[in-house]
Amino acid sequence: MKRTCPLLSVQPVRGLVDEKFQFVVTNLPPNQKVTLHSLHQSDDKDFWEAFGHYVSDEHGSVTGFKHESLGGTYEGTEPMGLLWSMRPIPGSRHGLRLRKRDIFRPMEVCISVYSGHLFQGFSQQTPLTTSVTERWYVAPGVKRVNIRKKEIRGTLFLPPGPGPYPGVLDLWGAGGGLVEYRSALLASHGFASMALEYLAPEDLRLEDTDASYFEKAYQILKNHPMVKKDHLAVLGLCLGGAITLSMVSYSKVIKCCVCISGSHLMPVDKSLSELFEEMKNFESLSNHMFSANANHLLKCTQVGRIKCPLLLVNGDDDQTIPAVESAEDMAMMMEKAGNRHLLEILTYPDAGHLIEPPYSPHFRATNYKLEWTKERIVMLWGGQTKPHAYAQEDAWKKILAFLWQHLSAPVTSF
């Protein structure tokens, strides 16, 4: 064809956030330096960007899955680097974290090709060509159900179709709020997933939030007509992971659980306010861990009692929770108790604490409000960008496979 201006193709133009995309630039002059640039405006109105430096081949093409980025915010043959290496644009507020609030609208990412190898000033240049791709947390047909039963507050996401579905109780960490995006994504993969808000939602006080709150939430999920009551999992990150371990060590009915960046050193056997009081007393959990106090076992969740498969997902550069050390201690406890065969540990080198769904940008440190003091700090989560991105991608595949394996349904009669 005679078409001679550069052409950028990004496929798919609309994908789920855990799907890869591919980009191909054609019709460039050969051996031309270009910059691939991604730009996204978050729900909070901040701008995020990433970029890679490429050189077109002898045909005048740059192909994401074949060619290497030679510099920028990511390097190597890493087309998804345009997402996972995103960072706030120069001049942004500090300590930002990118999280989707409006689940039913996609993340719009504008991908452009610029002439030359640029590091800045993208908004003052006219790109050669631009394409827009959408990244969705929900598959078509996923339904959202508000859960407001007495004090229990959450959101249930249901896959399309007649159901019923295996269920997942989805617990986030001490940042609080009602965080929906992971549950929406789980529903897009066939699970009825309930995101639970447990840190003082509305009128509920921390003093009244104890194990019974989570048990009630679990029952709501279990008894929902669209949920297969004998095919339930609990999945939690950080404090949510600690809660998961506590719940599952007393349960006979949970089929499996996943604990991401969590620890057994924070047993939730009393109210959350008492747990937070206790945490105020420790300089760090690691100190607690290695305390000479022979009775430290009593202060841990009794993981020797767990009766279902447990998957631990950890980054070895986690600066927030001693997840790797906790996992080793849990393995020893379970060895002693005879249930070690239930445990699977995934440890990712140079990954940090916030192991999120794939291709989410990596945050080494962000603004945070400490729950037990209400102090505003900058929390160091840890991790290096590329290994952390790898961890997110690999862990998510394995978490989904683990859930499918243990929550499989019986044969439907024909």
Residues that bind a copy of itself in the complex, under the rule CB under 8 A = 1-7, 12-16, 18-20, 29, 32, 106, 108, 110, 112, 115, 126-134, 136, 139-141, 160-162, 189-190, 397, 400-401, 404-405, 408-412, 414
Which amino acid belongs to residue 357? P
Catalytic residue among 318, 329, 388, 406: 318
Q: What is the closest distance, in whole angstroms, from the C-beta atom of residue 291 to a copy of itself in the complex? A: 40
- Is 169:145 a contact under the CB 8 Å cutoff? no
Sign, CA dihedral 202-208-214-217, equals negative
What is the distance between the terminal CA atoms of the chain, rounded to a whole angstrom? 53
Catalytic residue among 189, 353, 362, 388: 353
- Is 50:125 a contact under the CB 8 Å cutoff? no
**Measured between alpha carbons, how far is 31 from 7 in angstroms, rounded to an integer?**
16
Q: What is the closest distance, in whole angstroms, from the C-beta atom of residue 363 to a copy of itself in the complex? A: 25
**Measured between alpha carbons, how far is 290 from 293 in angstroms, rounded to an integer?**
8
Residue 212: DSSP 8-state: H
Q: What's phi and psi for 87, nearest 5 deg?
A: -150, 160
- Max Cα separation, the chain? 79
Q: What is the closest distance, in whole angstroms, from the C-beta atom of residue 117 to a copy of itself in the complex? A: 13
Residue 128 or 355 with smaller CB distance to a copy of itself = 128
Q: Is 318 a catalytic residue?
A: yes
**Measured between alpha carbons, how far is 61 from 57 in angstroms, rounded to an integer?**
5
Residue with tokens 């990150």: 237
Residue 287 or 405 with smaller CB distance to a copy of itself = 405
Q: What is the closest distance, in whole angstroms, from the C-beta atom of residue 65 to a copy of itself in the complex? A: 14
- Is 365:95 a contact under the CB 8 Å cutoff? yes
Q: What is the closest distance, in whole angstroms, from the C-beta atom of residue 182 to a copy of itself in the complex? A: 15
Closest by CA position to 239, among listed 289, 328, 318, 176 = 176
Residue 216 or 307 with smaller CB distance to a copy of itself = 307
Residue 17 or 152 with smaller CB distance to a copy of itself = 17
Residue 290 or 404 with smaller CB distance to a copy of itself = 404
H helix or E strand, kind and range, residue 215: helix 211-223
Residue 76 region by backbone torsions, left for phi larger than 0, else alpha for psi between -120 and 50, else beta: left
Catalytic residue among 238, 256, 259, 308: 238
Residue 12 or 76 with smaller CB distance to a copy of itself = 12
Residue 29 or 90 with smaller CB distance to a copy of itself = 29
**Measured between alpha carbons, how far is 385 from 392 in angstroms, rounded to an integer?**
11
Q: What is the closest distance, in whole angstroms, from the C-beta atom of residue 397 to a copy of itself in the complex? A: 6
Closest by CA position to 36, among listed 15, 65, 16 = 65
What would the two tokens of residue 89 be?
Answer: 């644009």
Q: What is the closest distance, in whole angstroms, from the C-beta atom of residue 360 to a copy of itself in the complex? A: 17
**Quick one: how many helices (H) and strands (E) in the chain?**
8, 19
Q: Mind telling me the catalytic residues?
A: 238, 318, 353
